Amino acid sequence: PSNYLTTVQFRSYPVSNWESSLLGVSYTAQSVFGDLVVSDPNHWLFANTGLRAGYRLPGLLGYEVDATNGFSPASVSVACRSGFVSNSLANPNLGYTEAASYGAPSGATVFASGSMQWSWGLDDLNAGTLRDSYQNPAVMQMMRNVLARLVNGDTPSPTLFFRTDTTTAGNWKPRYGTEGYVLPNDGTNLPAYASVSTAGAAITTYLSTSSDANSLQQSAGSGRYLAGWSSATNFTLDVNLSDGQNHQAGFYFWDWNNGGRTQMVEVLEAATGNLLDRRTIGSFTNGQWWAWQIAGHVQFRFTRLSGGDCVANALTLGGGGAAVFVSEDQFTQGNWKLYYGKDGGAYIAGDALYDARYATVAFNYDAVTRRDPASPELRALQRYGTTDRLLANWGGSTLVQFNLNLKDNAWHQLALYCVDDDRLGRKQMVTLVDPGNNAVLDSRLLTDFEEGKYLVWNIRGAVKLRVQRWGAGTATASGVFFGPANQAPTAVLTSPNGSEVFNVPTNIVLAANASDPDGSISRVDFYAGGLRLGSATNPPFTFTWSNALVGQYNLTAVAIDNRAAETASDPVSILVAPPGDYQPPGVQVTAPADGSIHQAPANITFSATASYPSAPLVGAQFVVDGTPWGGLRTNEPFTLTTGQAGRLPYVGTYSVRATVTDAFGIVTTSASNRFTVQPANAGAVFRQYDFAAEGGWRGLYGSEGCVLMNSSTNLPPYATVGRIGGGNVTWAASTSDPRALQKETGTDRFAGAWYGATNLLLDVNLPDGNTHRIGLYCLDWDNQGGGQTVQVLDAGNGGMLDTRGLTSFNTGAYLIWDVVGHVQFRLVRSPAALPAVVTGVFFDPPRIAPEARLLSPVDGAFFDPAANVPISVLALSGTTNVDRVEFLADGTLLGAAGAGPTYTLTWSNPPPGSHTLSARAVDANGSSSALAGAAIFVEPTSAAAMFGFVATNHQGNWRGVYGQEGWLEAGDSTNLPAGLALNFAAQLIVWSDGATAQSALLRKAGSGRVAAIWYGYTNLVLDLNFADNAFHSVALYFLDWNTQGGTETVTVVDHATGAVLDPPRLFPGSTVFPPNGIWGIWDVKGRVLLSISRADGRMVTLNGIFFGRRSLLATSLLADESLQLTAMGPAGTPLRLEAATELGAGAVWMPLMTNTSVTNQFQFLVTDPASYPQRFYRLTTLP
C-alpha cells in the first residue's frame, strides 16, 4: 500500500489546502516571546484605542504564533505585524507574526490574533506567580471591537472598566495620577485637557492626619490624610476630557470607619445619559482603587446601597509611570561616576546594589555573568566603592527586566548601561512600560554597544524597564543608575535673520545663544535642513558656512549639554540665490542615438556635451528612467559605458538623460534619448547531474538566488521564474529528512514541489543577456518510481535546446545547465499517470574552470586510531566537463577518482596526528582548481578512564595538591597543560570574589578565594583530548555555594564510541551555608567526555578542573602471584596499596597498606597464599 494520497494535515499533499485559506493565518513558530506591534492603526481592530503605527503591546506575542501566507484569502487585512527573534541564542532568526482579518463571501468576519498570548492582555490571571502582568486596556478595547464586529454591532465606546487594585491602598504616588489628580480638601492638579466638577456631594475631611497605610498620601510632603466626596443618597462627578484621547481614571474608596458601605458606580455618557458601565463596590474596609479607561465627556454617578453614605476619596488621571527619553551616550563608557548615580542609586551587575533614598528596584534575570572581575577595559563599569572596574552583566535568554519604583512622585534621571561584552553584534529592544496598565512610555532599539552605551531618560513614578534580545546572544544589562533629572538646554539661532537672502559666492555666519539650567553646554551643532554643517564648543557659538550652494534652507542650532541632552532651536529660513547676471549650464546627450537598438548583453556607451557660461561644472550624472546610472563624471568629455557602472540594461526600452551641476549648485537636465535592448538568442548547455547533495543546497547552489517551491523565493535581479500549468504540493512543511530542501535560514527543511498531472512548464527569463548557471532539483518524495524527462526550449520559437532523462531520483537530483536568454523547462513524467515535479530552482554564476567542494569529512573532524578516512568531493564543471578529482593529504597525492559528480576516495590507515585534506578538480583540457584544505585529527590512542577516589579534606586549598599540570578555575584563571585540547562551554556565575570560607577555591596566587560556578540547566560536558599516550589525573571540584541540595553525577564516556568508561559517580550538594566542597579524581587518557548531570531540574554546576600527575601509578593485571609493584614519582608522596577481586566499573578496591619514600621510587612486594581468592592490585597517590 502507498500513503501517497493520504495526509493528516490540510496543508499537505494531496489536499494542499493550508489552514490560512480559512483562518487567514497559519502556524509559523513556537517558543516565541515578545510584543505585539501595531502595523495598520486604521484597521477596525484599533477603533477607539488611539494606538498609532509601531506602538508596542508588551508581552502578548507567544508562545505559538501565526502569519499570513500565499494561501491566505486575497482580501486578508493585517492589523499587527510583529517581529520576533527565534529562541536559538547562537543562530537566531528574525521572524514575523501577524494578526489579521478578512470578510468571507457569506458576509462573516474571520479574525485571527496570530498569538496565543493575546489573552494575557485581558486579565491578570496567575500574574506574579506563573507570569508577569500584561493586562492592557487597549487590548481589552480591541477584544470588544472583535466581538462587536463578529455580531455586526456598533463600534464600542472607548470607556471601559479596567481593573481593581487592593494592594496599593493609600500609597498612590508611584502608581496613579501621573497626568493629574483631585484630592478633596488637599490638592488639585489637573492637566489642560481635563475639567472636573461635582453635583450633590459634600466634601468632608475624616482624618486630618494619619499613619494608617489606607490613608492617602498628601499631594505635597510625606503626610497622610483622608477626605472624600459623599452623599446619603447619590452624587455625580463630571469629567470632561477635551483632547480626544483615552486616559485612565482611577477612584479610591475606603470604608474608613467600617460603616458597612456598599455602593453602585455608574459611568454615563454626559451628552445622552447612555449607560457605559456599572459596578457594585462593597467590603472595602481596606482601601481599594478602581480604574476605568475613559474618553470625551463622561459622568460618574455614585449611589448608596447600604451604610450611612456613599463615598469616593480621590480621583486620579493617568497611570503611575512617566518617561521622557533624553539621550544615548556612547562616550562615558564605564566612567559612570562622572554623570550618573548622583542620587546614590547605583545597581551594578556582580557588584553593588545601592538604592536611592526615593527608589527601589526589583530584578528579573536568568544569571549574573562576571567576564572579568578586575578588568582594565574602559567599557567595564567602575565599582561602587573603589576605583577598580568590573566587566559583568545580568543576562536573560529572552528578557532582562527591572521594576523601578520611585516613591516621591518627582522626576529623576534613569541611565541604563549595556555592554555587548563578547562582541556578538547584539541588538536589544529596550522598552519602558507603566506597570499599572502596560502602556509603553518609550521604546528604542539598541545596537552597536560592544564598547558600552547608556540609554538615558527622565522618569517619574513606577516604571518597568524591559531589555529584550533582538538578535544573537542573550539579553544583557550591566548597570542601572538614578540621578537628578536632567533639564534640557535651550538654543536660539541669532544669525542669520529670517528670510534673509544671500547671493553666491558667499560665506554665511551662523550664531546661536545656548544655555543649560543644571549643567553646561558641551557643544552647539548647526544644521541646514537635515545636513549638519559644523559645531562650536565654546561661546560665542558661531560657525561659518563657506561656499553655500543655491537653494532655500531651514537653519537650526542644536544645543547639547554635558549630560547629552539636546534641544533644537526654532528654524530660520534663508535663501541662497545666484548672481544677478547668472546663466545656467546646458547639456545634451550625444550617445546612444535616439531610437537606437541594441542586443543583450548590451554594453552601451553614454556620452554628453555641456556648456557653462557662468560657473564651472562640478560634474555630470547620467540618469536612466529617472535612476542615476553609474557615478558622477567629473572630466570632459562626459562618457560612461553601462559595463563601467557594474550593470547592463536588461531587455526593454529606456530613456537616458544627463544632468550637470555647476559650482553654484544649479542643476540642468538634458532632453532624453530613447534606446531599446532586444533579447539575446536563447541557449542552454547541460553541465552535469548531482545525485549526492540531496536537499543540502546551501553552500553548493543558489549563491545568486533560488526558488524553493511553496517555501520561499529569493530571485536574483536578472531573473524571473513562472509556472505554466500544474499545481502546488507540500509533502512536509517541517522535516529533518535529508532529501528535503534546506530552508534559507536555520536547520529546518521543507519538502514541496510544483507538479503537473501530465507535464509541467517552467518559464525562466534572463533579460540581461548574460550566461547564468541554473540548477533544477527534482525529488521523487514518495518513491513512486518511473522516470522524468526535462526538455529545455527556446521560449520565443519553441525550439529544442537540450533534453535530459532522469530516473531513480527518490533521494533527489540536481540537473545543471548554463543558460542564456528566455527559456522554458518542460518536465514530462513516465509513466504518464505520475505527476512531473520540480522542487527547487537555483541560480549561480557560470564557471570557466572546474570547482571542487569537500562534502566530507568536515573541518575539525576526529577519527579513531587506525580508522579509514572516507573522503567525498563534489566537483562542478566549468565550460569543459570534469575528467577527474585528485585527493591530497598534507599536500601529498593520495589518489584520484574519475566518476562523479560526487568523487570518493578512502584513505586507509592514516598516521595519528593532525592532517590537512584537499582536492583539485581537473577537466578534460587539464584546467584545475584547488579546494581549500580541511583539518582532521586522527586519535593517537584509544581512550581509557579509571576512577581514583573522592576527597573532602583539602576543600578549596588545591595548590600543591591538584593542578600540578594545569587548571581551569571558575571566576579566576585558566592554565591548560600542554598537549590537551579542551572543549567546554557554560555560563559563569561569581557568587563571591572575596569569599573567606575554606571551601571556596584559592585563586592561582595569593591568599584570596573565589566562590564561582559554571552552570547549565541540563548537563555540562567536558571534552578532553590528551594527545600523548599517557594517563593524566583529572580532578573536579564541586561546591554547592547556593545550597541547592540534591546530587550531581559524573559519567566518563569514550568520545569515539560512546562507550561508558566509568559509571555515574555521585556528588551530593549541601543544604547548609557555608557548604563543604567535594573532589572527584579520575585517571584518563586519550579523548574522553566527562558528562555532569542531575535529575531534579536544578542547575548543574562545576567549580574547577585540575590536571596533575596520575593517581593510579601501577596495576597488576595478573592474579594469584607474587609480584613487586614499582612506581616512579616525587619524593615524599604518600601511596596506598589497594586490592580488588575484579576489574572494571564495579570493582571495589580495599586499602591494604600505605608507604612514603624519601626517594622518587616506590616498591611494594606482594605475596598471595594459595588459599586467597584471586585478586588484582593497584597503587594510588593520596591527597
In the predicted model, what is the mean pLDDT of residues 295-324?
96
Q: pLDDT by residue (tens digit) across 848-859?
A: 888 888 888 988
Residue 1018 has pLDDT above 80, yes or no: no
Q: Which residues pair with 1101 in a beta bridge?
A: 1015
C-alpha cell at 599: 542586443
In the predicted model, what is the mean pLDDT of residues 202-220?
96
pLDDT for 518: 86
Range with the poorest average pLDDT among 204-218, 537-551, 1114-1128: 1114-1128
Amino acid identity, position 248: Q
Peptide bond before residue 738 is cis, with ω within 30 degrees of 0: no
Ordered by where they begin, the domains of the chain are 20-150 (no CATH), 160-317 (2.60.120), 322-484 (2.60.120.680), 490-577 (2.60.40.10), 586-678 (2.60.40.10), 683-844 (2.60.120), 851-938 (2.60.40.10), 944-1108 (2.60.120), 1114-1181 (2.60.40)
pLDDT for 692: 85
Which of 125-129, 773-777, 879-883 is the most confident on average?
Answer: 773-777
In the predicted model, what is the mean pLDDT of residues 662-684?
95
How many C-beta atoms surround the C-beta of residue 325 within 10 A?
Answer: 16
What φ, ψ does residue 973 adopt, rounded to 5°? -150, 170
CA distance 467 to 664: 49
pLDDT category, 534, cuts 50, 70, 90?
A: very high
Which DSSP symbol is given to 143? H
What φ, ψ does residue 757 adopt, rounded to 5°? -65, -35
Q: pLDDT by residue (tens digit) across 252-281?
A: 999 999 999 999 999 999 999 999 999 999
> How much of the chain, in percent, has pLDDT values that exceed 70?
92
In the predicted model, what is the mean pLDDT of residues 953-975?
89
Tell me the longest C-alpha to C-alpha distance in the chain.
127
Range with the poorest average pLDDT among 603-607, 636-640, 879-883, 1155-1159: 1155-1159
CA distance 834 to 829: 6
CA distances from 678 to 53, 595, 652, 653 (A): 45, 13, 7, 9
Residue 1119 has pLDDT above 50, yes or no: no
In the predicted model, what is the mean pLDDT of residues 981-998?
83
Strands of the sheet containing 869-876, edge to edge, are: 851-856, 869-876, 902-907
Range with the poorest average pLDDT among 548-557, 618-627, 1065-1074: 1065-1074
The chain-wide mean pLDDT, for the chain, equals 89
More confident residue, 573 or 921: 573
Strands 288-294 and 247-253: antiparallel
Range with the poorest average pLDDT among 126-135, 173-182, 624-633, 913-922: 126-135
pLDDT for 792: 98
pLDDT for 718: 93
Residue closest to 115 by CA, chosen among 82, 148, 72, 93:
82
pLDDT for 231: 97
Strands of the sheet containing 1176-1181, edge to edge, are: 1112-1116, 1176-1181, 1134-1140, 1150-1156
CA distance 1000 to 329: 39
DSSP letters along 969-980, please? ETTS-EEPPTTE
In the predicted model, what is the mean pLDDT of residues 442-466?
96
Q: Which residue has the cell 549650464?
A: 585
Q: Which residue has the cell 493520504?
A: 6
For the chain, the distance separating the N- and C-terminal CA atoms, rounded to the nearest angstrom, is 68
Residue 92 has pLDDT above 70, yes or no: no
CA distance 432 to 294: 23
How many C-beta atoms surround the C-beta of residue 71 within 10 A?
Answer: 19
Which DSSP symbol is given to 150? H
Residue closest to 201 by CA, chosen among 219, 180, 214, 182:
182
Inter-residue contact 366 to 396 (CB < 8 Å): yes
Residue 786 has pLDDT above 70, yes or no: yes
CA distance 1105 to 604: 69
The kind and range of the H/E element at 608 are strand 605-611
CA 1015 to chain centre: 22
CA distance 48 to 276: 14
Torsion angle (degrees, nearest 10) of CA 484, 487, 488, 491: -140
Which of 762-776, 896-910, 1054-1068, 1106-1120 is the most confident on average?
Answer: 762-776
Residue 392 has pLDDT above 80, yes or no: yes
pLDDT for 1028: 79
The kind and range of the H/E element at 20 are helix 20-23
Residue 1170 has pLDDT above 80, yes or no: no
CA distance 1127 to 1112: 10
In the predicted model, what is the mean pLDDT of residues 789-802?
96
What φ, ψ does residue 998 adopt, rounded to 5°? -65, -20
Sign for the pseudo-dihedral over CA of 937, 941, 942, 944: negative
333: Cα within 13 Å, side-chain hemisphere: 12
Q: pLDDT by residue (tens digit) across 679-730?
A: 999 999 999 899 988 999 998 899 999 999 988 899 999 999 998 888 888 9
pLDDT category, 1113, cuts 50, 70, 90?
A: very low
In the predicted model, what is the mean pLDDT of residues 1088-1102?
89
CA distance 787 to 789: 7
Q: Which residues pair with 216 in a beta bridge?
A: 225
CA 558 to chain centre: 34
C-alpha cell at 1043: 545550597
In the predicted model, what is the mean pLDDT of residues 11-38?
81
Residue 1114 has pLDDT above 50, yes or no: no
Residue 334 has pLDDT above 50, yes or no: yes
pLDDT for 638: 96
pLDDT for 1118: 43
pLDDT for 1109: 67
Rounded to the nearest 5 degrees, what angle is found at the Cα of 1120, between the Cα atoms of 1114 and 1125? 20
How many C-beta atoms surround the C-beta of residue 272 within 10 A?
Answer: 8
CA distance 43 to 880: 59
In the predicted model, what is the mean pLDDT of residues 173-181?
91
pLDDT for 1175: 65
CA distance 540 to 537: 9
1110 Rama class: left (phi>0) / alpha (psi -120 to 50) / beta: beta
C-alpha cell at 764: 525562466
H runs (alpha helix) in 745-874: none
CA distance 586 to 1013: 75
CA distance 2 to 546: 81
CA distance 1183 to 841: 66
CA distance 559 to 522: 8
More confident residue, 1149 or 727: 727
pLDDT for 3: 39
CA distance 259 to 306: 9
pLDDT category, 374, cuts 50, 70, 90?
A: confident
CA distance 173 to 189: 13
Residue 1115 has pLDDT above 50, yes or no: no
CA distance 148 to 782: 48
Residue 1030 has pLDDT above 80, yes or no: no
Inter-residue contact 1044 to 1098 (CB < 8 Å): yes
C-alpha cell at 370: 562576571
Q: Which residues pair with 325 in a beta bridge?
A: 457
Residue 1128 has pLDDT above 50, yes or no: no
pLDDT for 711: 86
Peptide bond before residue 592 is cis, with ω within 30 degrees of 0: yes
613: Cα within 13 Å, side-chain hemisphere: 6
More confident residue, 367 or 1053: 1053
CA 293 to chain centre: 35
CA distance 930 to 852: 7
Range with the poorest average pLDDT among 606-620, 704-718, 766-780, 897-911: 897-911
Torsion angle (degrees, nearest 10) of CA 344, 349, 350, 356: 20
Residue 797, C-beta contacts closer than 8 angstroms, at least 6 positions apart: none
CA distance 509 to 506: 10
898: Cα within 13 Å, side-chain hemisphere: 2
pLDDT for 743: 92
Range with the poorest average pLDDT among 9-13, 270-274, 561-565, 905-909: 9-13
